[in-house]
Structure 1
Amino acid sequence: MANKSLKVLFVPLLNAGHVNPCIAIAEQLIDSGHRAVFAVDSVWSGKLTAYGIDEIVLAKTDRPLHSPNDTPDATREMMASVMFSDASALQKAIIRAKHSDLWTKYAIKMDKQLERLLPDIRPDVIIVDQLIALPAVELSGIPCVWVWSGGILEMVNDERAPPRQSGLSATGDQKLWQEFRQIVKNNEKDEWRAFNHYVVGRGCEPLPEYYFHNPSHYLNIYGYPLELDYQDIRPLGRNFVEFDHFMRTERHLTFAVPPELAAKPGKLVYFSLGSIASMDVSNMRRLVAILAKSPHRFIVSKGPLHMDYTLADNMWGEASVPQIQVLPLVDLVLTHGGINTVTESLYFGRPMIAMPVFGEQYDNAQRLQDKGFGLRLDAYRCSEKELLAAIETLLSDRRLTERLAEDAFTASHNVAKQFIISDNDMLKQNTIYELMSKFTNLIIVQLDDNDKFTMVPDNAFGNQPKLKQLTIRSAEKSIGSHAFSGLTGLRTLNVNYDQLSHISANAFAIDKHSNESLTISLNRNLLNENRLSFLLD
């Protein structure tokens, strides 16, 4: 099974906030020899082939709500629902709860399509990025992974953490948490009962109370930096896996700051309210007018209605800009607080001013401020003085800049569990071991076919106390003294050196009492060496 090429079907909500993380996961699968197939609508059709992704086009009636590709209808719908307003997070959560039938109707349409399509597609694995259960997936018996791009507080309604979409602080008044939760429950309970009835009628188990999905039935994965996560107050179960981000590579895209903007003075700032919130042209005009008074320069992702407003002289923008290529070039990010922009900005070590408009954006914005990675402002009520002062505050905060730069390099090191290097021409002698020393929680290390390496240095694995499995298949000609010592919990050691000519004394001085279950597999070249006599003691 390990070597089998899998056919993986992706079923995301069809807006950029959900499709983009799925693209990132698909890229990794494709690089590993698997096939990625996306269920998309006509709007997305043809846009994924650049990533090597296959597409199955759904019926037009299955297009999701609030698609920025249907800008006139989407804008009217959002305006009418007060999502584009200075209403509070609670007021917007109530509106969403009262209209949850719109989401369940969409889920039912998607469910019926999948019921027809799955027998023909026959995927080995299904990856969904939805907010509501799709019974056809569960009833298919096909292994399923649920990606959470809609906010990590959506995954589990745990009273040890703030309620989803509330924007309430994890260190705040928990009475406010309880009040927010109860109000939302009261407004969505009828629709929950109706959807639960549908799910049971399809032959599935009843949903947990006030959940529109059953998290225990899936492997749940989510992209959120450990520095922002709520695991310190709300640990998750074994079927939840955290990643720092789901960031696509965008290898086919390039970007350079336009000459007319590059020639201007000031720091460089990226401004994006996402594909949906940017459809509020009135508010975009207001914010652009404020930023026009800043001494700094701005790259602006203008959104689907980009033709309806103009930018100031200290700005450049287009309907959409290649965010992954832009972020490394800027000094600061002004964002709506969408989960993708937050995780990608932190990946590149950029401070943020988060101006949430709806949904999980409130939670992300508050978390950034609570953890000291940025500031939260009201997208509709922030004054000229507040916004311009916030920009100067973050741009002049050298300690934050240094902290973010360090975290951008070390964040993944602190949580990584596997370290696999295979046929990498970029790594030179000892670089691999120096790099590996940065990772302190490794459980599996695998070094394959690195023919530039000539020796395993002394105490090469001395910084890996948690290592359980070590596999080395390389071209090293010598092994240094105590190269494998310090591995107190090792269970499996596989070593294969075809060109080995020298083993230093005590190279395999492994503490036998700390490794009572150790299984060692060595090639014949090593078995002829008397340095291994310790194995017979």
Structure 2
Amino acid sequence: MFAEGHVNPCIGIAKQLLADGHRVLFTANGVWQTKLAAYGIETVELAKPNTTDEGVIDMDSSAQFMISLGKIGGASPIEKARHESFTAEFWTKHAQYLDTQLQILLAAIRPDVIVVDQLVTLPAVELSGIPCVWCWSVGPLVMVDDERTPPGESGLSATGDPRLWHEFRQLVRDVKIEKWRAFNNWVVGRGCEPLPEHCFYNPSRYLHIYGYPLELDYQDIRPLGRNYVRFDNFKRTERHMTFAVPPELAAKPGKLVYLSFGTLCPVDVQNMRRLVAILAKSPHRFILSMGPKHKEYTLADNMWGAESVPQIRVLPLVDLVITHGGLNTVTESLYFGRPMIAMSGFGEQYDNAQRLHDKGFGLRLDAYKCSEEELLAAIETLLSDKALAERLAEVSRKIQIDN
């Protein structure tokens, strides 16, 4: 995976393994080596991909590639789903690029256990005979496609019309079917058993772990098998990082709000400028994680931001979070008991945003179409909701004890 939202959960897992006395090796692109080294994690560098069909190696190019696929932007989830064949082609070609290298690396490293964070199967892993744990850094609706729940990446409500679920699910299956057939043929040709129809991996072959608070999970709708293990989150500690509210912002009046749209969504600079202009009219203060194009837009007087901020250190200091609905920010905000406004950009972010809204832990707004009045009113609504604050404090206490 290419973005921090996928790498960070793996870091959380690795830190616990290191604390328990195990050795952890990441196979990763070189761009991650410095970040991983800060956590004491060793890396084995993958060869650079030859083309963007095989992979992208940094966050900026990842974001631009997502824009080229139509994944990031103001289109609706179902409009974006019509382009899923291109996404499927990318992930399957990337798997073939990884597979070639892993055949060599696994024989040299000889690990006792493999942990993968992938969307499609890797025959080199399956054929190695080494026990494998599949880590899911995306939401549970993407992890398990079950007709008792809405389809992943749809943003449809679990209490909504099942006919809409079927329409979305069937559309995705139809646009991906040729890519699935080609990938299945390749997997079988590599010596693996055939994949379940419409599925790009074989769920029964792995132990699956995922981070999603019980308060948001779908287990009451569709229980999972014994080879699925839920954690409240895969939060990092970030003990090597510090953060204090800058004095110029600390001196201003108003509540403190954290805005983060992850590492990919903020590359849509035009929309970031639009949102900054709206938030400039709020009486509150804002800390922004601005993303890789942070030099291309200017913040207002009631704001402070940087390309990236140590989120785990920021969240305890703020009163409200405005998020793209990324899994890390959602689970970490609940860990600290913070209400959320979720404004999704793509993928499972839509599902997380709707789930927060349905469960009453925040509000879902359209990142591209919300009006000034809607966004400013949502901020005031959540900041003044004392009952929600008490409920979130209780959820936070439970998660911090359980995890």
What is the TM-score with the length of structure 2 in the denominator? 0.97
Q: 1:66–1:276: 8 Å Cα contact kept in structure 2? A: no
Q: 2:157–2:358: 8 Å Cα contact kept in structure 1? A: yes
Correspondence 1:367 to 2:367: no
* Alignment counterpart, residue 125 of structure 1, candidates 113, 136, 158: 113
Q: Which whole-Å CA distance do the structure 2 matches of 1:396 and 1:171 have between them? A: 27
Q: Which whole-Å CA distance do the structure 2 matches of 1:47 and 1:412 have between them? A: 26
Higher helix share: 2
Do the aligned partners of residues 302 and 108 (structure 1) sit closer, same or farther apart at CA in structure 2, a change above 3 Å counting? same
Provide the secondary structure at the position in 2 that maps to 1:44.
helix
Q: Which whole-Å CA distance do the structure 1 matches of 2:65 and 2:92 have between them? A: 17
- The equivalent residue for 2:157 is 169
Correspondence 1:259 to 2:252: no
Q: 1:162–1:169: 8 Å Cα contact kept in structure 2? A: yes
Provide the secondary structure at the position in 1 that maps to 2:31.
coil
Q: Which whole-Å CA distance do the structure 2 matches of 1:123 and 1:367 have between them? A: 38
Q: Aligned pair count? A: 401
Q: 1:333–1:352: 8 Å Cα contact kept in structure 2? A: yes
Offset, 1:66: 6.0
* Alignment counterpart, residue 34 of structure 1, candidates 19, 22, 45: 22
Amino acid across the alignment from 2:69: S
Amino acid across the alignment from 1:107: A
- The equivalent residue for 1:44 is 32
- The equivalent residue for 1:302 is 290
Q: 2:48–2:57: 8 Å Cα contact kept in structure 1? A: no
* Alignment counterpart, residue 184 of structure 1, candidates 155, 165, 172: 172
Q: 1:155–1:215: 8 Å Cα contact kept in structure 2? A: no
Do the aligned partners of residues 313 and 68 (structure 1) sit closer, same or farther apart at CA in structure 2, a change above 3 Å counting? farther
- After superposition, the CA RMSD in angstroms is 1.4
Amino acid across the alignment from 1:97: S
Offset, 1:65: 4.7
Offset, 1:411: 3.3
Q: Which whole-Å CA distance do the structure 2 matches of 1:79 and 1:51 have between them? A: 31
Correspondence 1:197 to 2:185: yes
CA deviation map 1:62-87 (0-9, x unaligned) = 78756553x2x445433333323221
Unaligned 5+ residue runs, structure 2?
none
Q: Which whole-Å CA distance do the structure 2 matches of 1:315 and 1:45 have between them? A: 31
Q: 1:221–1:240: 8 Å Cα contact kept in structure 2? A: yes
**1:155-304 equivalences in 2 (<5 Å):** 155-304=143-292
Q: 1:269–1:297: 8 Å Cα contact kept in structure 2? A: yes
Offset, 1:89: 0.5
- The equivalent residue for 1:326 is 314
Q: Which whole-Å CA distance do the structure 2 matches of 1:24 and 1:270 have between them? A: 22
Q: Which whole-Å CA distance do the structure 1 matches of 2:57 and 2:389 have between them? A: 35
Offset, 1:334: 0.2
Provide the secondary structure at the position in 2 that maps to 1:195.
helix
Q: 1:68–1:275: 8 Å Cα contact kept in structure 2? A: no
Offset, 1:153: 0.9
Larger C-alpha radius of gyration, 1 or 2? 1
What is the TM-score with the length of structure 1 in the denominator? 0.73
Offset, 1:380: 0.3
- The equivalent residue for 1:21 is 9
Do the aligned partners of residues 216 and 190 (structure 1) sit closer, same or farther apart at CA in structure 2, a change above 3 Å counting? same
Q: 2:138–2:327: 8 Å Cα contact kept in structure 1? A: yes
Do the aligned partners of residues 223 and 367 (structure 1) sit closer, same or farther apart at CA in structure 2, a change above 3 Å counting? same
- The equivalent residue for 2:336 is 348
Amino acid across the alignment from 1:91: E
* Alignment counterpart, residue 326 of structure 2, candidates 330, 338, 341: 338
Between the two proteins, what is the percent identity of the paired residues? 66
- The equivalent residue for 1:10 is none
* Alignment counterpart, residue 398 of structure 1, candidates 381, 386, 389: 386
Q: 2:213–2:233: 8 Å Cα contact kept in structure 1? A: yes
CA deviation map 1:116-171 (0-9, x unaligned) = 11110111110001111111001000010000112111121110111000000000
**1:133-172 equivalences in 2 (<5 Å):** 133-172=121-160
- The equivalent residue for 1:440 is none
Provide the secondary structure at the position in 2 that maps to 1:60.
coil
Amino acid across the alignment from 1:380: Y
Q: 2:12–2:235: 8 Å Cα contact kept in structure 1? A: yes
Q: 2:299–2:305: 8 Å Cα contact kept in structure 1? A: yes
Q: 2:31–2:58: 8 Å Cα contact kept in structure 1? A: no
Q: Which whole-Å CA distance do the structure 1 matches of 2:80 and 2:109 have between them? A: 38
Q: Which whole-Å CA distance do the structure 1 matches of 2:77 and 2:342 have between them? A: 14
Relative contact order, CA 8 A, sep 6+: which one is greater? 2
Correspondence 1:385 to 2:382: no
Provide the secondary structure at the position in 1 that maps to 2:305.
strand
Q: Which whole-Å CA distance do the structure 1 matches of 2:333 and 2:63 have between them? A: 27
Q: 1:15–1:67: 8 Å Cα contact kept in structure 2? A: no
60-69 vs 281-290, which moves further? 60-69
Provide the secondary structure at the position in 1 that maps to 2:38.
helix
Q: Which whole-Å CA distance do the structure 1 matches of 2:72 and 2:202 have between them? A: 31
